[in-house]
Amino acid sequence: MTVTHLPPEIAELRERTRRFIREVVIDAEPAPGERLDRSTRDRLQAAAKEAGVFAPLVPKEYGGQGVSVAYWSPILQEAGYSPIGPSALNCMAPDEGNMHMLNLIATEEQKKRYLAPLAAGDVRSCFGMTEPHPGAGSDPAALRTRAVRAAGGWIIDGHKRFTSGAVGAGFCIVMARTPAVDDAPEGATMFLVDMTNPGLRVGEAIHTVDRSIDGGHPHLYLQDCFVPDEAVLGEVGLGFRYAQVRLGPARLTHCMRWLGLARRAHDIALDRAGRRELFGGPIDTLGLAQHLIADSVIDIETSDAIITKTAALLGGDPKAGSAMSSIAKVHCSEAIFRVIDRAVQICGGDGVSDGLPLAQYLNEVRPFRIYDGSNETHRWAIARRASAGRSAAVRDGEQYRGDAVVGRDGAA
């Protein structure tokens, strides 16, 4: 992992995180296919606080390490070296994305009530966006959950699914369509809804292949769910704008965490290739294995580079950073899967058994090509931006003559 040009305090935090994951967290990992239990999670989080590595992205005023976006990657890659590392350090989805957004747009009272306990690891949270077809999924504009004004607040009705983290969560950030009210436009609005609200019910579980996110991915039902005016997160009608505040960085932190896991898988493969002999020598001296190893190094390094570029943009130009996060999400989700898949191949039969964790790693990262916007949807958006950008350049006077770019005066 690239570690040059890190401020001393970040380099030191990265090293502490690295040691904590390898010396404490890895020994506590559940067997492949099983989930981290609550008591182990609580024990690891207490140890993380003691080690000074807890909540790396949370502001220091809320008990975190206060790492700026430019330096998220080296820390989260170390956390992600174990599939339970982000949970132990309180930087796992959906809590990490929710904490980031709450810190940016919540009122002081909302921060006290929701962000502070979430940052401390006292509660978990979920984000209610995805709906059954034909509701919101890859197309947020299809949002069908509705909220209407009532005396002193709002009444929400709708059906969510794949609500990651909902089982056992303390609250949900619910996205609902709202009408034009006073000076607010018609659009989407975010609401902070306590999971104890009588109008909210956690429904049937959706059994998915991944196991790392606490609380599963169940259905969520809202029926005559009343929330007071103070439950509005941000401003009425601006929910889609706030969603981009959350989703751009959240896509990227997924890339960071899973790249850490890809590094773990690659290390497992390298250890196996260096120890095991085949056809008279170690596997890592064979051309076919070397090809697999080299391709994985290339995928890891290109993913690291695009993450670093995107993080820099998010820190200085959030709009450009959000656009670049689509590219990072597509590239990293596919490259990371390839790295782990090659590790399975190098390890042969053991790679697909529960004797090694690699098959479960594949299960953990495979859904990333679907959540936070399917890769196909991102490719559509990337292509549209590329075409629009080229059209704007042509309008500004740049044009083609054959294969050569020419300017206003016609000179190549």
More confident residue, 119 or 286: 119
The Cα–Cα gap between 298 and 34 comes to: 31
Bridge partners for 282 per DSSP: 277
Give the per-residue pLDDT at 406. 54
CATH topology of domain 125-239: Butyryl-CoA Dehydrogenase, subunit A; domain 2 (2.40.110)
Instruction: Give the pLDDT confidence score for residue 3 in this predicted structure.
Output: 46
What are the tens digits of pLDDT across the range 260-270? 999 999 999 99
Task: For residues 189 and 202, give the distance between their C-alpha atoms in angstroms, rounded to a whole number.
Answer: 21
Beta strands in 57-180 (DSSP E): 125-128, 146-150, 153-160, 171-178
Check residues 138 and 107 and name the one with the higher pLDDT.
107
- The pLDDT score that the predictor gives to residue 190 is 98
Instruction: Return the ∠ at Cα 282 (arms to 281 and 286), rounded to 5°.
Output: 85
Say which CATH superfamily domain 241-395 falls into. Answer: Butyryl-CoA Dehydrogenase, subunit A, domain 3 (1.20.140.10)
Q: pLDDT tens, 190-234? A: 999 999 999 999 999 999 999 988 899 999 999 999 999 999 999
Q: Does residue 165 carry a pLDDT above 70?
A: yes
Residue-range domain boundaries for the chain: 8-119, 125-239, 241-395
Model-level pTM?
Answer: 0.93
Categorize the per-residue pLDDT at 285 as very low, low, confident or very high, splitting at 50, 70 and 90. Answer: confident
Contacts of 176 (CB under 8 A, 6+ apart): 143, 145, 146, 147, 154, 156, 158, 188, 189, 191, 239
List CB contacts of 370: < 8 A, sequence separation 6 or more. Answer: none
Mean pLDDT of the chain: 93
Q: Which CATH class is domain 8-119?
A: mainly alpha
Least trusted range by pLDDT, from 37-46, 120-129, 229-238, 275-284: 275-284
Q: Is 410 left (phi over 0), alpha (psi -120 to 50) or beta?
A: left
CA triple 381-232-104, angle to 5 deg: 60
pLDDT (average), residues 62-90: 97
Rounded Cα distance, 72 and 248, in Å: 14
Residue whose entry in the numeric block shows the structure tokens 């606080």: 49
pLDDT for 316: 86
**pLDDT value at 399 more than 70:** no
* pLDDT of the residue at 403: 54
**Tokens standing for 393?**
């350049």
**Confidence band for 87, pLDDT divided at 50, 70 and 90:** very high
